[in-house]
Amino acid sequence: MSKIIITLLFICTNLPGWAAKQNSRQAHLVYWFGESWKNSALTDNKFYQTSKNEKALRETEEIRKAAEVSVGEFLKKRYCIDNNLISSYSKEQTVVYMARFGPQTKELGKCTEALNDLVKAGPPKKDAKTLMEYQKKLTSLIKNITAGFAEICQAEQTLCGCYSG
């Protein structure tokens, strides 16, 4: 009990200097509590990091699966729009629609290819930070593509008649 009181007094009186010196703090704790606290702290930190990485990996896999499904849906939407342009309109109207929506559909096609490549490649590393960045890239691409198709379908509903999107 007296060791604890002395330790608390030491900490309270030397708090600014003690907090600034990590090595002396560890040496002090080792002196009072032995090496077991240090090993326990290291084990707990490794467990926490492993748990954090596993959670990020599970979330990443869920987002990858959703992105893979989204790629298929985006390809269907692109095919639907292209097919409706060709089959539903005269050549003159098709030219007008292609001038208006062509660049946007091409950009959406490029974004869909980028999303597909990102899904196929997977995350470059399995640490939590890299996984979070990978997740952000996937979700950002999905949002941009979804918004692009929604903009086209809102502007011209007849182009999007073969799917509900």
User: In the prediction, which pLDDT does 20 show?
Assistant: 47
Chunked into runs of 10 residues, the chain (165 residues) has average pLDDT values of 54 51 53 57 66 85 93 91 82 84 89 94 85 93 94 86 61
DSSP-based helix, strand, coil % in the chain, nearest 5? 90, 0, 10
Is 0.85 surpassed by the pTM of this model?
no
d(Cα 80, Cα 156) in Å, to the nearest integer?
13
Domain ranges of the chain: 2-34, 53-160
User: In the prediction, which pLDDT does 1 show?
Assistant: 55
